[in-house]
Amino acid sequence: MGARQVPRHRIRQRITVDCRLPELPEVEAVRQRLVDERIAGTTILSFAAERPGTTKPQRPQEVAKAVRGRVVEGMRRRGKHLFVDLSGGYSIRVHLRMTGNLRIIPDVRLRPATARGWFVLDDGRALILDDPRALGTIHAGRLDEMEAAASAVGVEPLSDAFTDDLLLGAARRSKKPIKTLLMDQRAVAGLGNIYAAEALFRAGIDPRRESRRISALRLRRLRVEIVRVLADAVQSTRIAYRAPGRFGEADSFPLLVYDREGEKCGNCGRIIRRIPQGGRSTYFCPHCQR
């Protein structure tokens, strides 16, 4: 006691677009990049993974059997899930979790030590799940089974289905704090800790506020800000991925509160706070967010 809390010295590098945790915009960027790299039309020759956790509860062998000899027909995103659709009504479902990345490499023998699963393609290239923390997952099987596994995912926030009424209805049914509701994939698909906090800041809503007690007017504003923050992030992430030499501030989507504990709010100049919420850090401005 006695000593006033000193703001911790900030050494950790600001999170930028190239190392940001995968939420909807980052997953969408991964999808677009694979489309750009013309994964469609290739045939999968084989699959392998070393850790059982990567394909759990399937075995790597089962995934291999489901994909071998099938042609890649397209890439889709559903919330934070990626689908690699294959010929014959089959599909691969990938979830990047915290640190995963799905990417093409020129040759499977060049895969990094952090590669957790690898698909060898008939043109010599390989599709790998690169994930230092090994939390990402790969499943494969009939398309309907893969979609069933992601069926609990709610409305796509960048689709026409994400209406004022939909957000209002979800909020009215929930006693959770609004930030917890936004991160619930069954309510809105693809929001995570970062963009939920950013949308709430832009909408001026306290992340702790009970969902059902927020006015329809403020929920309308929240819906607008969710769409805006995600659309802007998709755009800047896409630009950054297409200009690999230009990562950094210029192309980064600015985060106004996330990871800014102790810094001044860009709107009012007061200090941004961090509080635990559902075991996660929530960043917000107590003055601008009510």
What residues line the site for DNA (CB under 7 A)? Answer: 8-9, 11-13, 21, 23, 51, 53, 79-80, 95, 97-99, 132-135, 152, 174-176, 180, 183, 185, 192-194, 258-259, 274, 278-281
Is the Cβ of residue 42 or residue 193 nearer to DNA in the bound state?
193
Q: Least distance to DNA from the beta carbon of 78, Å?
A: 10
Q: Please state, in angstroms and as integers, the Cα–Cα distance from residue 124 to each residue in 36, 120, 242, 278, following that order.
A: 17, 7, 23, 45
By C-alpha distance, which of 96, 7, 79, 21 is closest to 255?
21
Check 103, 111, 273, 280 and give the catalytic one.
280
Check 31, 33, 80, 176 and give the catalytic one.
80
Is the Cβ of residue 208 or residue 218 nearer to DNA in the bound state?
208
Q: Least distance to DNA from the beta carbon of 192, Å?
A: 3
Helix (H) / strand (E) containing 104:
strand 101-105
Which three-class secondary structure string do you get for 17-79? CCCCCCCHHHHHHHHHHHHHCCCCCCEEEEEEECCHHHHCCCCHHHHHHHHCCCEEEEEEEEC
By C-alpha distance, which of 205, 216, 151, 148 is closest to 182?
205
Q: Least distance to DNA from the beta carbon of 286, Å?
A: 18
246: annotated active-site residue: no
Q: Least distance to DNA from the beta carbon of 139, Å?
A: 10
> Is residue 200 a contact partner of residue 207, using CB atoms and an 8 Å limit?
yes
274: annotated active-site residue: no
Q: Least distance to DNA from the beta carbon of 104, Å?
A: 22
207: annotated active-site residue: no
Phi, psi at residue 159, to the nearest 5°?
-110, 165
Parallel, antiparallel or unpaired: strands 273-277 and 280-284: antiparallel
Check 20, 22, 33, 179 and give the catalytic one.
22
23: annotated active-site residue: yes
Is the Cβ of residue 195 or residue 241 nearer to DNA in the bound state?
195
Is the Cβ of residue 44 or residue 157 nearer to DNA in the bound state?
157
Check 20, 23, 70, 238 and give the catalytic one.
23
Exposed (0-12), middle (13-18) or buried (19+): which is 45, by Cβ within 10 Å?
Answer: middle
Is the Cβ of residue 4 or residue 9 nearer to DNA in the bound state?
9
State the catalytic residues.
22-23, 80, 280
